[in-house]
Amino acid sequence: MHKKISSALISVYHKDNLEPIIKKLNELGVELFSTGGTLKFINELGIEANAVEKMTTYPSIFGGRVKTLHPVIFGGILYRRDNPEDVIQASEFEIPSIDLVIVDLYPFEETVKSGASEADIIEKIDIGGISLIRAAAKNYKDVLIVSSRNQYTELQEILDAGSGETTIEERKRFAAHAFNTSSHYDTAIFNYFNATENISSFKNSTLHGKTLRYGENPHQEGIFFGNLDKVFHQLHGKEISYNNLVDIEAAVSLIREFEGEKAFAILKHTNACGVAVASTVKKAYLKAFEADTLSAFGGVLISNSEIDLETAEEIDKLFFEVLLAPSFTTEALEVLKSKKNRVLLKLNEYPENKVVFKSLLGGVIQQGANNKTDSEGDLTQVTNLKATQNQIEDMLFASKICKHTKSNAIVLAKDGQMLASGVGQTSRVDALQQAIKKAKTFGFDLIGASLASDAFFPFADSVELAYKAGITSIIQPGGSKKDQDSIDFCNNHDMAMVFTGTRHFKH
């Protein structure tokens, strides 16, 4: 069902790219209605438009809070053109039809992010605009609603192609986008208020999604909702996959733990298979690679420092999926771009995650993000033999990695290098056995190494196993009813143990 646009109501906050639309509507002989700054903008183009105040016989009142909220305006949008009673009432009350509504809402989210005062934020809650959007979208059979400046190009194409006529399919599609806009806007407002009210309600909204090649497996669909450009910029390589993104999230979360140090990490299936800190990026990479030269194949690599030529030449020897870094030298990029599918990403900023959530049992589970990083001030020395400064540094290093490792997790480290890890095991003993075996497989001497555990030891068996492997210092949360058994074993075997008081389960 085609509809000719004879009249349009235009009320926008941003005027960018609006001029061609106004001129096209004028060329088509469309009668224009407008408000405030938009009306002034239209008039300055030399085009006539009717002030909303003349339609309603009311001025803009209460500092602009009430402009379009009037039966003449909403009647013109909502009356059904194919309903005889509606048509009679529109004529009786001299309500003009409005066939096109163009609205751009007050920038509420941007105002919140700017750190503005509460008074300024409240004033950026759009009332008239959001009401116009909902009204026009509801009556999509008769009205076209443009609810975002991002739709101006498509609107221009419709006006050009149809000489001002729209199809029912176009109007319904624009209506769907309008309700997307309005629901997102209301969600942002609710979440602003709920930051202090703590109403138990889950609302999260992202306007834009990126369709991925597929999901976790080729037979699954995959979409990312969010703004990847804010986190990184792709410099080279194939399209990023669902699994790449999951690993990138794990890599970014891990590497941010090492602020102030030159750190390098290699991950596979979200778990670190190599992590190291060193005086140069090249040394850090080589130490990380040594931890597991087998699993590094096809992995995701990340550095918190610039990739230089020397480092790039070493990394170039390895087949990998993704490399992230805050910057790359020109020479390094030339080397790394030699393989066309390698994904090279410039890390822009770390995403701020205050809450995390995931789908579960047909619903959603949410929790506060684990933003706690164990520090020296958190440690309680619980054994007779106190940990040395070097041991403390190694234990804290291992603890940072352990926090980002699937439970049950054990991480072994020495001299700023991860030696091995036990990942995702059903018992802590199994995780430690896995870590010890892996360390020996890659030729590491565990004498003097440090051990980090994501949770307490329920028995002393893990401590005994660590002792037999040559490990001399242990960091763990503590909190078991049998903590004393582990402490006693350490005291009897000249081992140092510290408690952090913080568990770091990761499921």
- Cβ-count burial 155-180 (b if 16+ within 10 Å, e if not): beebbeebebebeeebbeebbebbbb
135, pLDDT greater than 80: yes
309-346 per-position pLDDT tens digit: 999 999 999 999 999 999 999 999 999 999 999 999 99
Tokens of 96: 């003009």
64, pLDDT greater than 90: no
Contact 474, 490 (CB under 8 A): yes
Confidence of residue 114 (pLDDT cuts 50, 70, 90): very high
Average pLDDT estimate for 86-108: 94
The set of residues, in sequence order, having a beta carbon less than 8 Å from that of 337 and lying 6+ positions away, is: 236, 344
Average pLDDT estimate for 42-58: 89
Confidence of residue 53 (pLDDT cuts 50, 70, 90): confident
- Residue-level pLDDT at 101: 97
Task: Name the DSSP letter for residue 258.
Answer: G
Confidence of residue 185 (pLDDT cuts 50, 70, 90): very high
Alpha-carbon dihedral 387, 388, 392, 393, rounded to 10 degrees: -160
142-146, 355-359, 390-394: least confident range: 355-359
What does each C-alpha distance from 139 to 31, 88, 129, 132 come to in angstroms?
19, 18, 16, 11
- Residue-level pLDDT at 407: 95
Average pLDDT estimate for 224-253: 95
Question: What 3-state DSSP class applies to 131?
Answer: helix
69, pLDDT greater than 90: no
Cα 314 to the chain's mean position, in Å?
32
Taking the C-alpha atoms of residue 262 and residue 280, their distance in angstroms, rounded to an integer, is: 6
378-420 per-position pLDDT tens digit: 999 999 999 999 999 999 999 999 999 999 999 999 999 999 9
Q: Annotated catalytic sites, by residue?
A: 138, 269
Contact 482, 459 (CB under 8 A): yes
Q: Please provide the average confidence, as pLDDT, over all residues in the chain.
A: 95
- pTM across the whole model: 0.87
What does each C-alpha distance from 228 to 18, 192, 245, 345 come to in angstroms?
28, 23, 10, 11
* Closest CA relative to residue 504, chosen from 444, 431, 454, 453: 454
85, pLDDT greater than 90: yes
Taking the C-alpha atoms of residue 31 and residue 475, their distance in angstroms, rounded to an integer, is: 74
Confidence of residue 8 (pLDDT cuts 50, 70, 90): very high
Q: Give 496's strand partners.
A: 473
Q: Which residue has the tokens 């410099």?
A: 235
* pLDDT: which is higher, 162 or 27: 27
